[in-house]
Amino acid sequence: MKTLLGALGTTGVMALACAGAHAAIDDAKATEIMNKSGCAACHAVDRKIVGPAYQEVAAKRKGAAGAAAVLEKSVREGSKGVYGAIPMPPNPEAKMSAADLHDMVEWILGK
């Protein structure tokens, strides 16, 4: 164990700790967050409603460096012109916590 910790260094150990603290959410938890935060009014997993399907978002961002950060920023600040003419309004932290936002983005990217 000391050898592993020494090889990882402080940064590596912190990264492992953070990764373990944020386990992936399942579909039921994602649905709960979508309903609570209002996402389900405009988005669905497999079909366009007002905004794009989550599968479309995942396909567009697949393999892109920093995809999660870009999506988190888009959700938090809003966006327009990425998936058509209809803009997405900003979603303040009062509506969706930073942890829920991160978990949802990771879940979406896994679709």
Q: What domains can be seen in the chain, in order of their start residue?
A: 24-109 (1.10.760.10)
Query: 9 φ, ψ to 5°?
Result: 75, 175
How far is CA 60 from each of CA 4, 82, 107, rounded to the nearest angstrom? 37, 10, 15
How far apart CA 11 and CA 51 sit, in angstroms, is 38
Instruction: Give the pLDDT score at 14.
Output: 37
Instruction: Give the pLDDT score at 3.
Output: 43
Predicted structure pTM score: 0.76
pLDDT (tens, 9 = 90+) of the chain, 111 residues, equals 444 334 444 433 333 344 445 578 999 999 999 999 999 999 999 999 999 999 999 999 999 999 999 999 999 999 999 999 999 999 999 999 999 999 999 999 999
Instruction: Give the pLDDT score at 6.
Output: 44
